[in-house]
Structure 1
Amino acid sequence: MCLDRFDADYPEQAMKKRFSLHFHISTLFLLVMVLVGGAIGLLAYNTISKILLQSASDKSEAKVFQVSSNLYRLLEPPEIAVKLLANSAITDALTLSERMKRLGLLRQVLADKGEIAAVYIGYESGDFFLLRPIRTDAERTKYNAPPETHFMIQSIERQGATLEGSYLFLDSTLRLLKVDRQPDYAKKYFPRQRPWYQSAIKDSGSIITPPYLFFANRKVGVTIANKAENSRSVVAVDIELDAISKNLEEQKQTPNSKFALLDGQGFVIGITQDASLIKDSLDGSGRINLKQLNEFNSPILTQVFNVFSQKSGSNDFMDVVEVGGEKWEVDIHSFKVPGQSDFMLVSAVPQIELLAESIQFKNDLLWAIALLFILMTPAGLFLASSISKPIKFLAQETDNIRELKLHESIYVESRIQEISTLGNSLKRLKNTISAFTAYIPRDLVTSLLRSDDGIQVGGESRYLTILFSDLKDFSALSETTPTRELLRRISSYLKLMTYAIKEESGTVDKFIGDSVMAFWGAPTLNPNHAFHAAVAAIKTKRRMLKLNAGLIQEGNMPLVVRIGINTDAVLVGNIGSEERLSYTVMGDGVNIASRLEGINKEFATDIIISHSVFKEAGERLWVRPIDQITVKGRAGEILIYELLGIRGGDAETSPSATEIILCDLTSKAFNFYSAKNYESALAVYQELIEQYDDGLAKVMASKCQSHIES
């Protein structure tokens, strides 16, 4: 809806008071709504916070039980796997080849549980057979493995009185890639002396070792082992502590939650913190010292350690702990895993993060109050909309002018005098720019509108393609044709050619009587400038046929357009004086394009292109070579071609079957001509004359005859 109209002499002070009143009423109303809404929101927030605080402990406790259950499920499947393997045939395999036949079962164990770092069997004979996945290039480099390696076997096999060690590398299908003999491996690693073997061989069930440093990859982890049914071997799997920490990290309740898994002695074997679990190494046996909660540089974990150290009785614990003014929900829960004493799961969650739902509710409530405020103030919003809507339209109209969308008019009506005046000014500006674009290239106008520097005299050297056109026998036509009729015909031809040039992203430089000068590659860069110029020329030639059909039907003479195209480095830019500028091109390359247009007359052709155009786009054009010519102002000769069509073009630009034959036969004749085999060249040109009455062939045949006679 339009605003009330202001008279031209309406006092400016009154207008300011009116807008000031609207502003003050809107501001006061908004302030009241914010205060009332804020009070309601704060009350609701405090109430919801109390409710959530009561449930925070329950949520934290439930999460702890969930995480402990997940940890149990992390360790239970490997324990089941070693029990199954303990009853498999691989525990009776006496040689490496027999063990290799059972690889599929070991691979399945690794595939089912990604946290398993290795699966292996230690035999009472001292033999050892281990399969580990190779997942990274760093691991392949460490073991000198082939690039396709996906699995690695570490084997110790008794050969008579000696033990031989070797590494075997396999691809994803378990195909053997490489065998690397490791004599020192069998001398350094004794499976029967390892803690996992000695503990499991004495136990009737599964055991889990304390954390230790793995022999091969030097990572910290635990081993789950089980004595084989035949009691002559032990089956085991390794689980790295990193896998336990990763499992804890994936189950964090909030971004800053902390989980830690402690063994029965209170040492940390998994934590949601990027820190090493190892304090130091005691000796070369692989035994290590793990950190406790107070050794991770975490204030909350240190506080939990202090509280936990002072309590007696059950290890389970749940309370609110304050550190640095921040409250944390702390929960310690004990649980058992197969083959191990109690594990303890420590959980610490910031209360502020547990109350995130309350904060979200507060925000939602504030938005609801804001929405209510909007619904309760329709009059004020309607007034603001009535003022801003025409301004928004004017801004959109300004953008249309900036983008030269001059035919997309937006009707703006307002009773505010300034807005109405601005709208009328924009209309006049559109009309002015519309007229402006009819005289200079549209791309240039767009560039000027977007530039803050204004128009300046100057130019740059750029590799462009230039086109000149002219009408055959225009002087005679102008003498015999009435002025209005001549203008109608010429305008039809110029309109037709202008559209063809614009369709191919060209810039019309100027009209010189019946001549057109255009170029490609400026002001907008165009990497295919030569090709687009050729397409525009062919489109012009084809469309002139339709125009001439109408002229002939009216009883008038047809118009024959001749075109010259050249590609060269020329000067392009704003050339002239401060009083009068022209965005144009100049240079020797421009003169050559003009000369080529005139040379059409000598060779009875319609479109001539230079060799530089052919080099840029020749593989996409149907052309036929004409001759080496000398152009005035240019030293040496240049090779010129007649353009007949576009390779792979549409119905409008593709050549006819006859034109393709002309290209082939003319190329054949020109090859003879270039080799100075004028008799053979003359024969082919004569064939073109006899079959197609070709004008170019007539000219070239005459040249061949002259060479033969001389």
Structure 2
Amino acid sequence: MNIFRNMRLKPSILTSFVVLTVPVFFTIITVTYLSNDRIARTHAQQLVERFRNEAIDNIQDDFNPIKSLARSAAAIGDEFPDFYASSRCFKYFQTVLVHSPKIVSVYVGLEDGSFRQTRRIDADVKVQGKLPPKGSQYAYRWILPRAGEQTLDHFLYLDADLKELGASEEPTAYDPRSRLWYRSAAEARTEMISDPDVFATLGLIGFTVAAPFYSAGKLQGVAAIDMTLAGLGEYLAERKISTGTVSYMLDHQGRVIAASDLSKTYANVQGKLELLHITALENDLPAFAYSARPRASEGLYTFANDGKEYVASLATMPAEFGKKWQLFIITPLADFTSAFQANNIRLAIFGLMAMALQVVVIFFMTGVVSSPLERLAFKVGKIQELGTEQLPSVNSAIREISVLSKAIDTLDAAVKSFSAFVPIGLVTQLLQSEQKLELGGHSRFLTIFFSDLEGFSTMSEEVPSQELLLRVSAYLELVTKTVNQEHGTIDKFIGDGVMAFWGAPALLDDHAWRSCVAAMRIQRGMDALNERWHAEELKPLKVRIGIHCDAVLVGNIGSKERMSYTVMGDGVNVAARLEGTNKEFNTRILVSHSVFKEAGERLCVRPIDDVTVKGRRSKVPIYELMGVYGADDPGLEPTPETQRLAKLTRLAYEALVKEDYALAARRYREILAEFPDDPVASTLIKRLVAA
């Protein structure tokens, strides 16, 4: 593509570095980010799974001893049916009660309707309508129904050392056999765990572990233990896997048993305390996470909420636990990815800073290489343009560039020397086309130009050679610059004469007009030189110019050892003849009829005569060039007097062509009357008179 062909070295190196480095850098950042994100996700999932397994194991470890105690209490009833029929059981219940602070009460209900219980007491909670005695921590409670008597509910309050502090009683209709825990255990005929509920007297969520006992296959009663789940929420809070993690223990209906944020998970509904469903909590996140859970299976899943991504786990307790409770864990991925993201940001910032530093270093380093190379490229460009100014040598500490600089200096000197002997147009064409210089030529319609100094032989005898050399050199320099300015080609210098042509090697549509412009510029330039020489009291130099258009052979003529880019043909002779004819009419610029045909509408000329050229049978009409139109120099335009002289000369020439010599003579005399110094009219009148 052309866009890459013209790029400069320094920007191209910087661009290449950026193009190669930036994608690699961002690829590394992307791969690092994705890798860290994958590691963070895996780590989060592993932590959630580990926490889930540990929590389930710990909950079972807490519950299994309670279940064992319930089974032990039932076993005592199996072996000693009358043990629970007396107050002996209270102290046994006390030993079970102190086994764990989570146990609220231990009790037994018998088939005869009696009920015995050892329970914890909250001194700030009323019992039977009044506060218990100060210092009360435990209480023995019993209900012994008797036929025909009112059933009483007895409380005996004890301190931490089981010393009696007081007692209370009140009538009751309480019958353990009608209670759910009793009926459920009796129906199950084995230990059972009740659904979680709110212990109204304590304001705590708990459940009951109950086990029936038998005698001779007959149900004797049910031993039960009430256990609070208050510690479960604290357990979940203490073992959070991250700062943003929340976890909940749910029952089989999705009601919240315990929460790691220790929030209130029950509410008063129509005078009854009931557990809240997970979707009814004040925090909307659990509800959203619960609704996003997969219905077909349990386990880990991810979801997004408010632009944040979370990992969640919903796992049911093992079947041997006895209840389909579920551990619900929600953790934000940001808790695990934030450190990686911060590291990625630091890596990106550090990478960008390092890249910027590299760009600066490469910018200066490439400057060391590119700056001399760019100056050398500029110098080569000037060599191709054949510029005349002398550019300084390029110095570089890099050896290869230094060698290249010396080679280009040598090339510059060689091209300048070459172009001094070979037409500049040809040199330019060779440099641009990269063609080899070979012998050969071709025919082309060109404009040939000859110039010569009038009276040079006589002057060379009168003027000192050094002075003559300087003045001729000034003239030749003027001709050379003017020809080059008008895109002509200097063929050769012939003593004081110059041969040039237009239309080769580069094609020119207006080659005839350009040669005429060059001729007019040369004459104006010579006028300026003569004024300077006149001021120096030196004789003036007069230049005669002949111009002709014709088809000639142009190309490299000579041998392989030495050749010349020149033109050959009859047209060259005609141009040379025209230059010499100026001497006969005392004119300065003569052009042929072919020149007039090519550019006549842009030239101011007057017809002179028809001349004979050696080798040609027919005569050649010739014209004096008096001005040009359309040049960038107004001084080359003909003046009104010049235009009138040209018009009068055309009228006289028409009479001459018609061989009306009398009319022609009269008209030439009219020209002399108006322009007494006109050499053409004077010469032609003399010829007419002599004829």
TM-score when normalising by structure 2: 0.49
Q: Which structure carries more relative contact order (alpha carbon 8 Å, separation 6+)?
A: 1
TM-score when normalising by structure 1: 0.48
Structure index of larger Rg: 2
